[in-house]
Structure 1
């Protein structure tokens, strides 16, 4: 055995010292303990003799029905699909601080306290840009007349 294994063996022996056997007592206390141990052994033995009947009965009740065809088997559960990676884009200002982030179609605006420390992010709901209203114009203003001033 090499020295490393011997050192390891000594360490293990120090960690798990054997407990010394308690000396057998004499007198009334030892006799009472012996009577209690004998009674416990007797009762446990009786319970073990009676329990096989109950165990067999319980096993018979919980026993599944035998399968004779593969179609009687439960279908194999499908594994759960792993979570998809999310693409997060951070947008910074000229000083390099994050001002807002975008996760898919959701925009989040950074909230800061007085010291400039980020304390949270709030979802920004942007309404779609509405089309411009039609501008009334005169047909004469649209017509191009060569050589005429406006």
Structure 2
């Protein structure tokens, strides 16, 4: 036998010898009181376990044996249709978009490509028109 196995065997034997001896039956009033207390504890534990089992059985879902017993599958609502209107400027380019109750302003770069769409309530104002030259006509 291996030295480690023999060491483990000795430790097991030592633990078995060190275990507490079985309680000695006591007679008299003390023994009777202990027996009554043990019986009461065992009865309460048995009653609590029975109650717990009963609750588990009560809360257990009933097995479904027919597909008609299954609840209907919840369906998502169909998306609400929205109207979209495109507003064009004199060059036929889209400059304002209205979707439902929201309005967006189309912003373009210097080449004329669409860069982004910003909600109309926070969009910056378009550049001001140059002032008219007063001396030009006279």
**What TM-score does the superposition give when structure 2 sets the normalisation length?**
0.38
**What TM-score does the superposition give when structure 1 sets the normalisation length?**
0.35
